[in-house]
Structure 1
Amino acid sequence: MHTLESKRAPSIMERVRLAPGSRFGLYVLVCLHIVICCISLAQIAHWQSYMLYDAARLHYAIIAVLAFSTVSLLFMFTRFSFGYLIGFSLFTMILGFIWLNNFSKFNYDHRLAGLSAAASALLFLLPALLINTPLKQRYALSPAALEHLLKFILVLALGTIVVASFYNFRLVSIRQIYDFRNELYFPAPIRYLTGIILTVLLPFACACYLALNRRWWAAVPLLLMLLFYPITLSKFALFSTVWVIVVLLLSRIFEPRIATVLSILLPMLLGVILVSAYLNDYTQYYFGVVNIRMMATPSSAMDIYNDFFSGHPRTWFCQISFLKPLMSCPYQEQLSVVMEEFYQLGKFNASLFATEGIASVGLYFAPLTALVCGLVIAIGNRVSAELPPRFVLMSGVLLPPAFLNVPFTTALLTHGAGILFLLWYIMPRTMFQPSRTGGFPDQAQAEHAVETLHPTPQGDHQT
């Protein structure tokens, strides 16, 4: 299958986006993001007792954050990729941990933990941002097959919603979901399908319909996302549709790198402003959901995992479900349950830096596992390298929260990141050929592009 190689000259908008001024604007945004992140964490100390702040140690925190912030230069000089989308969220999380590490009340080697976290972030980001050469596409869907795939995704999502609703369906407010969450039960296939469909398949279908300029069809996956809320009683399911729309609007105004930064900066900045200017039940709730739960909790999880595993045996990856039966494991429960029983702070799922790093191999070897994870993310870069950056952004838009809050293997398998890699690999590149009107071709145009402009040579395969 021939890969589309566009030889057209960059448009005026593309020249603006590639101009040096765009890089300066990105630099200013990242610097502002770092400052707002630290201010938000200082405010959080008033609400969460285990996230401390001490003015006497402020200068240590500032020095540590400034030193680590040099890593952010990687985001200025690399192009957008899947690794950029995931990497910036994880960079923010490590930044938050380095800040909290200077105020932590837990008893572990804080200097070693900070150095290990910074080294882990750097070794993860180097392959995740720099390895993006295209992987040769040996198989590609025809436009007709893609059409069938998108319809199958919608039918699968609807069928999963119907079946799952027999096990649980409650229309309750957000404040009441924790009264029922512990009662939820779904068979394993439904649990896996729910995570994969909500996190990957529906955003992918939405992005494809947008690329095909079928806006009404693109709304169908967004509506299906909302239907997962009364089934899962998950804030992620409730806010996923809003999040996709917000990132879509940002991507239409700004280039994908700036849209990625703004997608994290703007919600956090709004929380800082609301709590500072007008404090009531609604602003406190927003601050709790966005600034504390979405932004600070993944950083705090690293603090807690450092404390726990400084005095308890490491897992050596036995927490991975398919490895646990094959090896001796000191923990029979999931690590999130172990943390809940030990600290009484709720279930603490954690990212790859805490789970595959701190919990599995300890602080000295954690950077090596981060490097391996970065190389896996680079595979996603390679299979999506010839796709439009905006398409990659929109189809992967719900994966950053997954990588922030669950182990790396869980994000790949249970939340479907590995499936998204496969879908990117088999996407027909010709569907992204610009039409004469400046948009993307519709189905008939894509069919014509495949059959006449880029005929399939003998020896190549289409499915």
Structure 2
Amino acid sequence: MLEEPSIRFRRTCIALLSALVAICCASLIALATTAAPIPFDPAVFHVFFDPQRLAIAAVIALGFALIGISFIFAPPTIGYYVAIYLYAMLLSFLWLNCFSDLDYNHTLAGISAFSSGALFLLPVLFWTRPLSIDFRLSSAAFDKLLVVLLCFASVTVLAGARYSFSFVAIDEMAAARENLATPRVLNYLLAMMISSLLPFAFAGLVARRKHMLAALAIGLQFLLYPITLSKLALFAPFWLIFLLLLIKVVEFRLAAIVSLLLPMLVALLAVLLIGGRAGLPFSIVNFRMIAVPAVALDVYNHFFSRNDLTYFCQISVVKAFVSCAYDAQLSVIMQQHYRLGNFNASLFATEGIASVGPWLAPLVVLGCGFVVAIGNRASAGLSPSFVLLSGAMLPQVFLNVPLTVAFVTHGVALLYLLWLVTPRSLLEAEPGAAHS
């Protein structure tokens, strides 16, 4: 049974969610009005603001904010953590949708996104019944698994360093990455290390109080940046340390909200108070983390309102059996048409809008929600702090790549399996954390 949240928790959660909604909207206004100088032109990304449409945007944002009430009653699960970020992204799209200069049916797109968000939250927040499994690792086997993961990560880092190892500035990262010639299999392994395997090893080692090995895991995370030259690799070690400190002082659900709210608030205040010198952190957090995935929804709605839908043929397995209107990856096609870089998009844009269009997207997103919520069931009974740390990178993954890419390329499916076989006797949930 779900526990009744305390009055104090309700009030705190409502205050934090309200602040998050306000900060998302304020950040987009700052972007559009060039109050926040960043190394990108907001107009190129179709980020605009018109004071005459402020009332409409505010009403829509307020309406979607009411859906956030579900976070008050949801239990602490990995789905809760992921949902906070996707909720903020959808809110940002609904705001941008009121001012976008791209020509498509904005009313239909808004209704589709609103419905998709509501349906997605249902399973992701509340489908938490534990999976039945007879096999769990023993304590000794779990400790050996953590060491094996570190060894495997070390070998992967050494293999990757043979092909590339260079430190470049953030603004030069994309150009330098074009020259990488890392084998595809190794690229998959590196992505899994960044997103799933090293965070799991770090969380397990912290929980088992093996601090020197946990520090080694963070060190390996740092080494993945000069090999992959990806923003996620650069971001990962700092994010793991931030969440480790945060979960020690704040309850899981509040930590999930604060993990997004606090960086956005600090970056927004900094850029408003000191101007251009704070443009880089604002660009990384408020713009790149939340606004760009929202822009992707805007772009995908525009592109697929006048071009053929994919009907899931962007998935390589499906493409092998059916005809497809597109030979190149969607990220490449978007770059060719909009010149915004080779960026992928979330399940809302890819499995939703690109595959079936705005009318059917909410139903597909609901199905995706059940797939994401398998993580709740696989990790049920584990300590929320362990689940948060081991799944630390999942919001960034789900914000920026399709569901299928997240599960295969970034190792989310493997992470779910690791949670499932992790011994509960070692990492039991705190009292009141397990719900069904």
TM over 0.5: yes
Partner residue in 2 for 1:56: 52
CA distance in 2, matches of 1:428, 1:385: 11
Task: Provide the rounded CA distance (Å) in 1 between the counterparts of 2:293 and 2:136.
Answer: 38
**Matches of 2:167 and 2:343, distance apart in 1:** 26
Shift of 1:433: 5.4
Equivalent residue number for residue 286 of structure 2? 291
If you compute each CA radius of gyration, which structure gives the higher value, 1 or 2?
1
Among 113, 116, 120, the residue aligned to 1:120: 116
Matched, 1:383 2:378: yes
2:293–2:346: 8 Å Cα contact kept in structure 1? yes
> 1:235 offset after TM fit, Å?
2.0
Q: Is the 8 A contact 1:83 1:378 kept in 2?
A: yes
SS of alignment partner, residue 140 of structure 1 = coil
**Matches for 1:125-164 after TM superposition, within 5 Å:** 125-164=121-160
Q: Which residue of 1 aligns with 2:422?
A: 427
Q: Look up the SS of the partner of 1:134 in the other structure.
A: coil
Q: Which residue of 1 aligns with 2:434?
A: none
Q: Which amino acid aligns with 1:289?
A: I
**Partners in 2 of 1:30 and 1:84 — Cα distance?**
13
Q: Which residue of 2 aligns with 1:21?
A: 8
Distance 1:30 1:286, change over 3 A: same
Q: Secondary structure at the match of 2:320?
A: helix
| Paired residues of 1:82 and 1:377 also in contact (CA < 8 A) | no
One-letter amino acid matched to 1:327: V
Cα distance in 1, alignment partners of residues 410 and 342 from structure 2 = 18
Question: Structure 1 stretch 208-217 or stretch 83-92: which is displaced more?
Answer: 208-217
Contact 2:398 2:406 (C-alpha < 8 Å) held by counterparts = yes
CA, structure 1 residues 433+23, in 2 after alignment: closer, same or farther (shift >3 Å)? same
For residues 293 and 127 of structure 1, the distance between their equivalents in structure 2, rounded to whole angstroms, comes to: 27
Q: Is the 8 A contact 2:5 2:72 kept in 1?
A: no
Aligned to 2:191: 195
Tell me if structure 1 keeps the 8 A contact 2:386–2:427: no
- Greater displacement, 98-107 / 137-146: 137-146
Query: What's the offset of the Cα at 1:326?
Result: 1.4
**Conserved 8 A contact 1:83-1:381:** yes
Secondary structure of the equivalent of 1:190?
helix
Q: Give the 5 Å matches for 1:157-236.
A: 157-236=153-232
Cα offset, 1:161, TM superposition: 0.9
1:175 deviates by 2.8
Counterpart position of 1:350? 345
Partners of 1:319 and 1:303 lie apart in 2 by 19
* AA matched with 2:77: S
Q: Which moved more, 1:411-420 or 1:353-362?
A: 411-420
- Letter matched to residue 27 of structure 1: I
Q: What residue in structure 1 maps to residue 268 of structure 2? A: 272
CA distance change for structure 1 residues 434 and 334 in 2, over 3 Å: closer, same or farther?
Answer: closer
- Summarize deviations over 1:149-168 as a string: whole Å, max 9, x none: 11111111111111111111
Is structure 2 residue 302 aligned with structure 1 residue 315?
A: no
The CA deviation at 1:30 is: 0.4
> How far 1:382 moved relative to its partner?
0.9
Give the partner amino acid of 2:172: Q
CA distance in 1, matches of 2:131, 2:241: 30
State the secondary structure of the residue aligned to 2:48: coil
Q: What CA distance in whole angstroms lies between the structure 2 residues aligned with 1:29 and 1:356?
A: 30
Other-structure match for 2:19: 32
Query: Is 2:347 aligned against 1:360?
Result: no
* Structure 1 residue 18, shift from structure 2 partner: 5.8
Q: Secondary structure at the match of 1:177?
A: helix
> Does structure 2 conserve the Cα–Cα contact (< 8 Å) formed by 1:85 and 1:393?
yes
The 10-residue stretch of structure 1 (331-340 or 320-329) with the greater mean CA deviation from structure 2: 320-329
Given that 2:384 and 2:429 are in contact with CA atoms closer than 8 Å, whether structure 1 keeps it comes out as: no
> Which amino acid is 2:340 matched to?
L
- CA gap 1:433/1:404 in 2 versus in 1, 3 angstroms: closer
**Is 1:407 matched up with 2:402?**
yes
For 1:165 and 1:337, locate their aligned partners in 2 and report how far apart those are by CA, in whole Å.
Answer: 27
Pick aligned residue for 1:324 from 295, 311, 319? 319
**Counterparts of 1:76 and 1:66 in 2: how far apart (Å)?**
17
Which of 234, 239, 245 in structure 2 is aligned with 1:238?
A: 234
SS at match of 2:325: coil
Deviation of 1:172 (Å): 2.1
Cα separation, partners in 2 of 1:213 and 1:58, compared to 1, 3 Å:
same
Give CA-to-partner distance per residue, 1:161-211, whole Å, 9 cap, x none.
111111111122223223311111221210110111111111101111111
Offset at residue 41 of structure 1 (A): 0.7
SS in 1 for 2:316: coil
- Aligned CA distance change for structure 1 residues 214 and 329 (closer, same or farther; 3 Å): same
Matches within 5 A, 1:3-22: 19-22=6-9
- Which amino acid letter does the alignment assign opposite residue 39 of structure 1? A
Equivalent-residue separation in structure 2 for 1:218 and 1:229 (angstroms): 18
Q: Tell whether the 8 Å contact from 1:314 to 1:361 is kept in structure 2 after alignment.
A: yes
Unaligned runs of 5+ in 1: 1-14, 436-463
- For residues 62 and 417 of structure 1, what CA distance do their matches in structure 2 show? 36
Partner in structure 1 of residue 78 of structure 2? 82
Contact 2:381 2:428 in 1 (8 A): no
Q: Which runs of 4+ in 1 moved over 6 A?
A: none
Deviations 1:293-343 (A, max 9, x none): 111000010000000000000000000122212111111111010000011
TM-score by length of 2: 0.94
Aligned partner of 2:292: which letter? T
Kept after mapping to 1: 8 A contact 2:116/2:365: yes
